[in-house]
A and B are shown apart, each in its own frame.
Chain A
Amino acid sequence: GAVVSQHPSRVICKSGTSVKIECRSLDFQATTMFWYRQFPKQSLMLMATSNEGSKATYEQGVEKDKFLINHASLTLSTLTVTSAHPEDSSFYICSAALAGTDTQYFGPGTRLTVL
């Protein structure tokens, strides 16, 4: 149980385009989902916390207009990187917390490469 999927696993896009990444909790309902970014050889950095049906809470330094997060249902959250630039290239990981618990389960990540 507690499986989280992400789609796509890899995406390559041109500079200036937008990319949408999906995060789904497959066998449980997640009232809260989290988006992280992992730079090469570094740890995960929390970008934002999204609660179903409400606006996401962004961490300091994360541009909310650039990284649009939507959490429309208890099993789906999306991260859209708008007007992507090469510096946005990174590994994006989502996690989902079981409703009523404090443990996060992580997705496999999405590697974004912006040319």
Chain B
Amino acid sequence: AQSVSQHNHHVILSEAASLELGCNYSYGGTVNLFWYVQYPGQHLQLLLKYFSGDPLVKGIKGFEAEFIKSKFSFNLRKPSVQWSDTAEYFCAVRNAGNMLTFGGGTRLMVKP
């Protein structure tokens, strides 16, 4: 069975700090990778996704993620966070069977 782990459960940063959220998965086959964001009081929204091609994926709001196949990782990054980035971030992996497995989520708080 595939699994997804997010290393940080809670992250607190000051505005303008750089962000990197870790995501590792365990599945030997072809996968599609996603990062979703859930702002306070709102539903899950797609931040970015990787299916194939350039392993460095750029998403909305200045976020990017890099797929490193050898490390089974898909870390999310942003060079300079804003207060409005305060949210919970979920990494998800979809296998060939179309099953989407979520990581435990990382709650990010950005201090103004």
Contact = CB atoms under 8 A, between A and B. Distances in A.
Chain B interface mostly: strand
Contact of B99 (A43, A44, A46, A107): A46
A28 interface: no
Given A43-B105, A44-B90, A105 B100 contact: no
B90 A107 contact: no
Contacts, number: 40
B101 A106 contact: no
B43 A108 contact: yes
Interface in A1-60: 32, 34, 42-46, 49
Interface stretch (B45-53, B57-65, B67-75): B45-53
B36 A102 contact: no
Contacts of A34: 100
Interface in B20-44: 32, 34, 36, 42-44
Contacts of B99: 46, 49
A106 B49 contact: no
Q: How large is the interface on B (under 10, 10 to 19, 20 to 34, 35 or more residues)?
A: 20 to 34
A51 B102 CA distance: 21
Interface residues of A, number: 18
Contacts of A49: 98-99
A43 B44 contact: no
Interface of B: 32, 34, 36, 42-46, 49, 51, 90, 94, 98-105
Given A95-B44, A108-B42, 11 more contacts: A44-B44, A44-B102, A46-B100, A46-B101, A95-B100, A102-B51, A103-B49, A104-B46, A106-B43, A106-B45, A107-B43
